[in-house]
Structure 1
Amino acid sequence: MSEVDPVVRAVEAALFAAQEPQSAEDLAAHIGSDANIAGALQALQADYAGRGIELVERGGRWHFQTAPDLAWLLRRETEQTRKLSRAATETLAIIAYHEPVSRAEIEAIRGVQVSKGTIDVLMEEGWITPAGRREVPGRPLIYATTPGFLTHFGLTSRRDLPGLEDLRAAGLLDPVDLALEGALATDDTDHSSDESDSLLENHEDQA
C-alpha cells in the first residue's frame, strides 16, 4: 500500500471532524498556511468519487456528504414535508437573485409587505442570514443566502440557479404567473443576481 500524503490525511481528518463545511482558509488555519490545501482537496475529491460518500464544494466550502443515489438508504420514514408559503418562496427567490437585499428592497420587488415571520422561517431553515447593514439612513439589515441554501438545493454556487425559461420548460413556473416572474426578474448588469430559482417553486422542502 502506497504512503498517503500527510497533508491529504490531515485535510481528510479535519473535514471529517468539522461540524460545518470548511473553506480552504479554514483548513489552512488548522493544518498550516504552507500546506497545499487545494491539491489535497482535489486528491480527496478524486479518491472519494463514486464511493458511498463524496467530497463536494458548495460556495467555496467543502464537506463530505452521502452519495446522492444512496440518500434513500438513510432517509427516515417519519420525514415530513412542508409546503413553503408563496410569500416565503418569493422572498427566498428574491434574496437568491438579488442578494444582499434589505426587507424594503424585497418589498419593492414583490410589491407587498414582507412579514417578519416570513424572514424568520427562512432563517430557521438556515437558508438566509443577515449580511450586515446597508449604508443608508436607518442602516437597514440586508440578507443573503447561506452555504446551507446551496447544499439543500444541490447548487455549487448561485451561478447554478436556472433562468426563467428553464423553469417554464421544466413545468415549474406557470406562464401567466407574473408575480413570481417579477420576483425572479434580474438586472442584466447586476452580476450578483444570476438566474432563477427552480427548486423553490417545488415548495416541497424537508422540515
Structure 2
Amino acid sequence: MARVEAVLFAAAEPVGREVLARVVGRDCALDLLIEDIAADLAERPYAITRAAGGWQLTTRARHAEAIRAALGERDAPRDLTPNEALVLTIIAYMQPVTRGAIARLTGREVSRDLIARLQRQGLIGRGPRSPEPGAPYTYVTTPEFLAQFGLETLRDLPDLEAMEEAGLLEAEEGDLGMPLAGEPEE
C-alpha cells in the first residue's frame, strides 16, 4: 500500500493501472489495494480519485479555500469565461470538431485567441485534420481536461438528454442549449 501511495503522491498526473502493476506486481488485486488506501485516507484532507484512466491523490474540495489562501490568488485556478466554457463544452461533446463547426453551433465567431487560451491551460489539443476543404484543424479534449474535471473517461460527461429533461438545457434541434446568433444571452 505504501508503495502505491508514494507513487501517487509523487506523480503530477493520474497514474495508470500498468504503472501501478509494475510497482506491486501483476498478481496483486490492485482495485482492492486502492480501496484499502482510500479507506485509510477517509479522514485525511486528500483522497484517491479516478481521473483520466488512472488514479491520483487530490485534495478534498472542502480545503480549497485554505489552499487558495496559502498559495495566493495568483496561483488559484482561473475560472473559465462563459465563452471559454461554451467552446470547451462543445469540444468535449462533439470532438473532434473544427473551429468553424463550433462557430456554426454558437452562431458567432470563435477566435483563435480563445482556442489558444484553452490550449495553454492544457484543456484541449489539436486533433486530426478535418476532411473538409482546406483540411482545418480539429480540437479534442486532453487527459488534463479529464483530470481537471474529475472524469475518468469522456463517458463520464453528463448525459445531454438527461440534462434537457431536467430543464438544465433548452432543447433546440442540433443545439446544446446555447443561444443562437442574434439571441440575447442570459
Distance 1:167 1:132 in 2: 35
1:125-157, Cα deviation, whole Å (9 max, x unpaired):
221122444466655433222333234334454
Q: Percent identity?
A: 34
Could you tell me how far 1:54 is from its partner in structure 2?
0.7
The residue correspondences of 1:56-205 to structure 2 (distance < 5 A) are 56-76=49-69, 78-79=72-73, 84-134=80-130, 138-158=134-154, 159-161=156-158, 163=160, 164-165=163-164, 168=167, 182-183=175-176
Gaps of 5+ in 1: 1-7, 186-207
Could you tell me how far 1:95 is from its partner in structure 2?
0.8
TM-score normalised per structure 1: 0.64
3-state DSSP of counterpart to 1:62: strand
Label 1:160 to 1:83 Cα distance change in 2 as closer, same or farther (>3 A): closer
**1:15 alignment counterpart:** 8
Distance 1:132 1:43 in 2: 41
Q: How many residues align?
A: 171
Kept after mapping to 2: 8 A contact 1:90/1:183: no
Could you tell me how far 1:31 is from its partner in structure 2?
4.8
Quick one: which of 33, 46, 55 aligns to 1:53?
Answer: 46
Code of the residue aligned with 2:51 in structure 1: it is R
Root-mean-square deviation (CA, aligned residues, Å) is 3.4
Gaps of 5+ in 2: 179-186
Distance 1:72 1:86 in 2: 23
Label 1:157 to 1:50 Cα distance change in 2 as closer, same or farther (>3 A): farther
Could you tell me how far 1:109 is from its partner in structure 2?
2.0
